[in-house]
């Protein structure tokens, strides 16, 4: 099972510290941000202790393709209202792909964006325009995994149909995939307890080979709430059994699975949640 969690990447140990933190939870995968998720401040990649991290990974059979990078929330290439926001998103996404490639990771998770009340059609077409602009000038092998969204506000990408529309218009189709978030699809109206039905629909709409990452989260909300509020494993409306089934599902065995559940009393719950999810009935 490839199961990990979101970990921090901060001074002074940066990526080496991220891997050490993941290992302390019993994880064999992790997800990082290359800097603060809410702003564009970034440390030079030369300072991220990449080689030290790789040495630690080699000692612990922790493969680089299990390090997932998440793009910052400030990128919104669905925005057609403010041209500066779109242009910033394209420019920063290009730079982020270079950072991911330098680190040695191969997947960058990206929120598709919000149309800011301009309408879904304009938002989706803007995402396509932005992704093509980014990828047409990038020759790395990093795949952008568009995250399934809960559908709150003017978010794009809360249905497989919307994601399929985006992917079908990408010039470099093999460079864009999907990150499926269990909390988000639950909040968007999908019944996570019927994972086979969801995987069949995803396969028919997009192709299961496009699924690159899974975010394993419970939800504080009832199905279809469109709110996006993560809950700890087994404490929410999705429930432990459904999430346990997903992480053990044979059709998903090769997919990296990442926990993004809330801290409990200031402490990361990942060690306990990973241990519990790994249990075999």
Tens of pLDDT, residues 105-160: 999 999 999 999 999 999 999 999 999 999 999 999 999 999 999 999 999 999 99
Which pLDDT belongs to residue 66? 98
Give the CATH superfamily of 3-272: Divalent-metal-dependent TIM barrel enzymes (3.20.20.150)
What global pTM score does this model have? 0.97
Which pLDDT belongs to residue 8? 96
Which of 110, 96, 76 shows the shortest CA–CA distance to 138? 96
Which pLDDT belongs to residue 139? 94
Which pLDDT belongs to residue 45? 95
Which pLDDT belongs to residue 46? 94
Annotated binding site for Zn(2+): 70, 111, 147, 181, 184, 215, 228, 230, 260
* pLDDT lower than 50: segments of the chain: none
Which pLDDT belongs to residue 79? 98
> What whole-number distance in Å separates Cα of residue 85 and Cα of residue 89?
6
Which pLDDT belongs to residue 230? 98
Annotated binding site: 70, 111, 147, 181, 184, 215, 228, 230, 260
Which pLDDT belongs to residue 58? 97
């Amino acid at each position: 099972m490839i199961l990990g969690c979101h970990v921090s990447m901060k001074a002074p140990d940066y990526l080496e510290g991220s891997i050490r933190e993941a290992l302390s939870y019993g994880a064999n995968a992790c997800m990082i941000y290359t800097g603060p998720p809410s702003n564009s401040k970034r440390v030079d990649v030369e300072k991220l202790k990449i080689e030290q991290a790789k040495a630690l990974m080699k000692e612990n059979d922790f493969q680089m393709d299990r390090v997932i990078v998440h793009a910052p929330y400030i990128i919104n290439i669905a925005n057609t209202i403010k041209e500066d926001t779109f242009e910033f998103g394209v420019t920063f996404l290009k730079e982020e792909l270079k950072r991911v490639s330098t680190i040695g990771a191969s997947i960058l998770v990206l929120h598709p964006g919000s149309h800011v009340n301009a309408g879904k059609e304009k938002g989706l077409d803007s995402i396509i325009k932005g992704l093509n602009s980014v990828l047409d000038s990038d020759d790395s092998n990093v795949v952008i995994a568009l995250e399934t969204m809960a559908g709150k506000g003017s978010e794009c990408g809360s249905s497989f149909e919307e994601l399929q529309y985006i992917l079908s218009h990408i010039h470099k189709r093999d460079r864009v995939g999907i990150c499926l978030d269990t909390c988000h699809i639950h909040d968007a109206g999908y019944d996570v307890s019927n994972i086979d039905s969801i995987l069949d629909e995803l396969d028919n709409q997009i192709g299961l080979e496009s699924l690159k990452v899974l975010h394993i989260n419970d939800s504080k909300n009832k199905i279809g709430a469109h709110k996006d509020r993560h809950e700890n494993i087994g404490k929410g409306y999705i429930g432990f059994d459904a999430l346990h089934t997903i992480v053990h599902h044979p059709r998903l065995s090769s997919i990296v699975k990442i926990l993004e559940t809330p801290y409990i009393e200031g402490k990361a719950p990942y060690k306990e949640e990973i241990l519990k999810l790994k249990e075999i009935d």
